[in-house]
Amino acid sequence: MTRITVAKGDGIGPEIMDATLRILLAAGAKIEVDEIEVGEKVYLSGNTSGIEKSSWDVIRNNKVFLKAPITTPQGGGYKSLNVTTRKFLGLYSNIRPCVSLHPYVKTKHPQMDIVIIRENEEDLYAGIEHQQTDEVVQCLKLISRPGCEKIVRYAFEYARMYGRKKVTCFTKDNIMKQTDGLFHRVFNEIAKEYPEIQNEHWIIDIGAAKVADTPEQFDVIVMPNLYGDILSDVAAQITGSVGLAGSANVGDQCAMFEAIHGSAPDIAGKGIANPSGLLQGAVMMLIHIGQTEVAEKIHNAWLKTIEDGIHTSDIYKENVSKQKVGTMEFADAVIANLGKTPEKLKGVQYLKDSIIRLPKYQRKAPAKKSLVGVDIFVHWSGTNPDELAEKAKMMETQNLKLSMITNRGIKVWPEGFEETFCTDHWRCRFKSDENSSISGNDIIQLLTNAISHKIDTIKTENLYAFDGIAAFSLGQGQ
Ligand code: NAD
């Protein structure tokens, strides 16, 4: 018997959770349920995180959390409970299988069977944002080596466990050479450890276009957080409906399972929502807790129900579907099919032990790190970069000389183009001669000079070389 935490959530949440639990128990899942309250009611009671402290204790104690969708009220500084849960519990891996159910669910892509594995904790979702000038705000994109290694290894282990042939990586490392570049490099390193699995990399824009056009070319796809968030919804939608896909969020200690869709307030309380997405999440949960036989039984009964044409209204189609049913009727039809396998759709078979265990992350020996310069970001309302260069030169020290000014990343000094549009947010790069090492005192001197010349510095970013290799981007056009 495994104790799990359940939250029924908001909108259609309670309806689809009741239907899902009914199927699980009828199939013989050995689970005991601790129910907690999260979401709208908790938010509106004045708790901006959407969850009580005592509920965290239950989640952390049970380690397995089945969560229905919740409504995050608009405005008012309410934090997304999903993002908080993933990060607090270290749920670094988000797994979203997207499979076509052709010809029973209408789709332009009858052959589609892909699994999107999305990094779940970092990237722009670190949520570190600042307004720096009147005109410019920033969001920090953080990508870490452990984050990349864990998610990429998870993708290859997943492929190995589920007999998948290929793992594809999507990044935008032609532009973001440091952040996405690290993700891609780690992908190449780890791919070598799995010679039996094909690997490939696509730049995300053409990769996404190919997923939308010819998804049958893909198998497992691994990518950083934001791309994965967007593309997994696209992938689920083009199988026929977002209402069909489930999602697992897995960490070293805890895991959370859910549907990928939201709380669908437009159809809440009507008893017509499709419980399939949450049920798919629950099937992944059963695999995670080692109840693979029950998972297999439910999954096959669900496929048979879809194949029988018993459909909720979101996927119901004249001439294809046989019977339009509500949430609970659909659950009852799945229950009636327990023990049966689909005849036309491909049934599933799960290995007895399908739990993916990764080796503990091993931190590498640190590189030799040397400080070779600094980018000083300046709030300045002028328009002529030559004028700013004159001012910035007044900040120079013996070891740090102005080498470049950019505006939103594009070089505007020296030799900028007068056509380039400039905001009030400038980056002045100060470098040592030939990348020789400087000290923190050089930067302090530079900033002291800025204050005495009334230059409004809004941020400094140190420039480092690691093992002698410059580890910062050049200005565009440099
Ligand atoms: P949504 O996914 O709730 O709904 C989009 C459309 O899909 C709606 O027309 C809805 O009726 C339909 N739909 C969704 N699930 C369905 C199902 N199971 N059966 C039948 N039809 C279904 O997206 P939204 O309207 O953008 O968001 C509504 C709320 O959900 C928002 O408050 C949002 O913050 C929240 N949300 C929560 C989660 C989560 O808890 N994991 C995820 C996404 C959105």
**How far apart (Å, rounded) are the C-alpha atoms in residues 322 and 327?**
16
* Average pLDDT for 375-394: 97
pTM (2 d.p.): 0.93
Q: How crowded is residue 211: how many other Cβ atoms within 10 Å of its Cβ? A: 26
Length of the chain, in residues = 478
* Nearest residue (CA) to ligand 1, atom 30: 262
Tokens of 371: 């400080």
The pairing of strands 425-431 and 369-379 is: antiparallel
The ligand 1 site (C-beta within 6 Å) comprises: 12, 69-72, 82, 242-243, 258, 261-267, 273-274, 277, 314
Q: What is the pLDDT of residue 417?
A: 93
Is 163 in contact with 193 (CB distance < 8 Å)? no
Is 287 in contact with 95 (CB distance < 8 Å)? no
Residue whose pair of structure tokens reads 């209204």 in the numeric block: 313
Kindly report, residue by residue over 208-242, the tens digit of the pLDDT.
999 999 999 999 999 999 999 999 999 999 998 77
What is residue 319's three-state secondary structure?
coil
Closest ligand 1 atom to residue 261 Cα is 2
Q: Give 262 Cα–ligand 1 centroid separation in angstroms.
A: 3
Closest ligand 1 atom to residue 258 Cα is 41
Mean pLDDT check: name the lowest of 62-71, 137-146, 369-378, 432-441.
432-441
For a mutational test of ligand 1's pocket, the pick from 261, 266, 276, 314, i.e. the residue with the most ligand atoms closer than 8 A to its C-beta, is 261
Q: Give 242 Cα–ligand 1 centroid separation in angstroms.
A: 9
Kindly report, residue by residue over 258-281, the tens digit of the pLDDT.
999 999 999 999 999 999 999 999
Percent pLDDT > 70 in the chain is 100
Is 141 in contact with 124 (CB distance < 8 Å)? yes
Closest ligand 1 atom to residue 265 Cα is 28
- pLDDT class for 353, splitting at 50, 70, 90? confident
* Nearest residue (CA) to ligand 1, atom 10: 264
Would you say residue 371 has pLDDT above 80? yes
**How far apart (Å, rounded) are the C-alpha atoms in residues 282 and 288?**
10
Q: What is the pLDDT of residue 126?
A: 85
Is 2 in contact with 289 (CB distance < 8 Å)? yes
- Measured CA to CA in angstroms, residue 137 lies from 376, 424, 457, 458 at distances of 16, 11, 15, 12
Percent pLDDT > 90 in the chain is 87
* Nearest residue (CA) to ligand 1, atom 16: 243
Would you say residue 315 has pLDDT above 80? yes
What is residue 218's three-state secondary structure?
coil
Q: Give 392 Cα–ligand 1 centroid separation in angstroms.
A: 51
* Nearest residue (CA) to ligand 1, atom 11: 264
- Measured CA to CA in angstroms, residue 425 lies from 207, 392, 470 at distances of 33, 14, 24
CA proximity to 321, closest of 339, 336, 333: 333
Residue 123 has φ and ψ, to the nearest 5°, of 70, -155
Sorted by where each starts, the structural domains of the chain and their CATH numbers stand as 1-81+246-350 (3.40.718.10), 108-238 (3.40.718.10), 369-470 (3.30.70.1570)
Q: Which helix or strand (DSSP H or E) is residue 6 part of?
A: strand 2-7
* Average pLDDT for 123-139: 93
Provide the b/e sequence for 281-302 (b: ≥16 CB within 10 Å). bbbbbbbbbebbebbbbbbbbb
* Nearest residue (CA) to ligand 1, atom 1: 262
Would you say residue 351 has pLDDT above 90? no
Tokens of 27: 């199939």
- pLDDT class for 475, splitting at 50, 70, 90? confident
